[in-house]
């Protein structure tokens, strides 16, 4: 058979249709367009909500072995450890009772002073108990997933804390679960107050490997020492004031910069937290103008 008569086209079995380069360009453009639209118009949020509802049963089933193991481990907990826990709880309860009696007296004096100065009462913060399901698998972020979502009343930007201090903030809410960003995440910042000096600052999540915070923009000659405790200042309208956040563990003062490098350790359990409290943001708990005392209303009208 002459060579010119051979069919040089590939058999139908090997025909691919659209070229791979065309598919790459098409789907890359589609992905970039969806990311841009979701960033500016949030059009993927309904799909994200529906996907979270579909994936939730799978997440629940995947966590069952761990929950079963925890129950078995609790059953076989040694008697001596239980007795030690009871003794420690009794000692802590005795110490807390002493502090509670002092707090009640200080609260009474504070109320008398506020009434004398015609100042408004502090607002109360609502709280909701939640359980940590699991931590985010991404090693470059520090996030946790809670078992409470929008159907339970969780709001975006709500502060989250454990029994030791502030743990983080709710950054994404789904119908049945919610995601919190820890205070040690590099994208998170929180206004703080030094309880020893009263100086205010802003603590950022440390970008290094250790789960620490960095107190930035503090002068090298600032009055701060290792062991100082930082609490929420309450000036951001999110976190209630006076909740412990971190403790200063390292201070680096260098002559070639005007700011000191201050590293802090979170007081909350950013690693291994199980049960947390979701607080209502301060901005939702602020009273309206009708709650302001008559004395402040009179001053406001006089200023006008």
Residue 253 CA: distances (Å) to CA of 21, 190, 263: 55, 22, 12
Burial level of 135, CB count in 10 A (0-12/13-18/19+)? middle
Q: What is the DSSP string of 100-131?
A: HHHHHHHHHHHHHHHHHHTPPPPPP--EEEEE
Contact 224, 211 (CB under 8 A): no
Burial level of 7, CB count in 10 A (0-12/13-18/19+)? exposed
Look-up: residue for tokens 């807390």? 96
Tokens for 150, please give them.
Answer: 């929008």
Q: How confident is the model at residue 302, as a pLDDT?
A: 35
The pairing of beta strand 259-266 with beta strand 212-219: antiparallel
What are the pLDDT digits (tens) for 229-248? 999 988 888 888 888 999 99
DSSP, collapsed to helix, strand or coil, labels residue 187 as coil
What are the pLDDT digits (tens) for 205-229? 986 667 889 999 998 888 999 999 9
**Homologous superfamily in CATH for domain 125-286:** Rod shape-determining protein MreC, domain 1 (2.40.10.340)
Greatest mean pLDDT range, 64-73, 157-166, 283-292 = 157-166
Average pLDDT value over all residues in the chain:
80
User: What DSSP character marks residue 239?
Assistant: S
| The model's pTM | 0.59
CB atoms within 10 A of CB 178: 27
């Amino acid at each position: 058979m002459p060579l010119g008569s051979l069919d040089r086209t590939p058999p139908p079995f090997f025909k691919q249709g659209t070229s791979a380069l065309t598919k790459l360009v098409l789907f890359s453009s589609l992905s970039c367009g969806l990311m841009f639209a979701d960033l500016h118009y949030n059009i993927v949020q309904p799909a994200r909500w529906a996907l979270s509802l579909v994936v939730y049963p799978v997440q629940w089933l995947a966590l069952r072995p761990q929950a079963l193991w925890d129950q078995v481990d609790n059953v076989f907990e040694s008697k001596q450890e239980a007795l030690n826990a009871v003794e420690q709880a009794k000692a802590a309860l005795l110490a807390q009772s002493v502090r509670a009696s002092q707090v009640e007296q200080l609260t009474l004096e504070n109320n008398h002073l506020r009434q004398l100065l015609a100042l408004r009462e502090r607002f109360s913060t609502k709280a909701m108990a939640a359980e940590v399901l699991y931590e985010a698998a991404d090693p470059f972020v520090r996030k946790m997933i809670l078992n409470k979502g929008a159907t339970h009343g969780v709001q975006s930007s709500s502060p989250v804390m454990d029994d030791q201090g502030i743990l983080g903030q709710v950054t994404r809410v789904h119908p049945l679960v919610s995601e919190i960003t820890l205070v040690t995440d590099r994208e998170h910042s929180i206004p703080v107050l030094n309880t020893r000096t009263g100086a205010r600052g802003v603590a950022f999540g440390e970008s290094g490997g250790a789960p620490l915070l960095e107190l930035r923009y503090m002068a090298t000659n600032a009055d701060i020492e290792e062991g100082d405790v930082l609490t929420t200042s309450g000036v951001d309208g999110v976190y209630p004031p006076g909740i412990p956040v971190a403790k200063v563990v390292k201070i680096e003062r260098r002559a070639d910069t005007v700011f000191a490098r201050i590293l802090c350790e979170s007081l909350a359990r950013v690693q291994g937290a199980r049960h947390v409290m979701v607080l209502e943001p301060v901005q939702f708990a602020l009273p309206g103008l009708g709650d302001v005392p008559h004395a402040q209303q009179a001053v406001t009208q006089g200023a006008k």
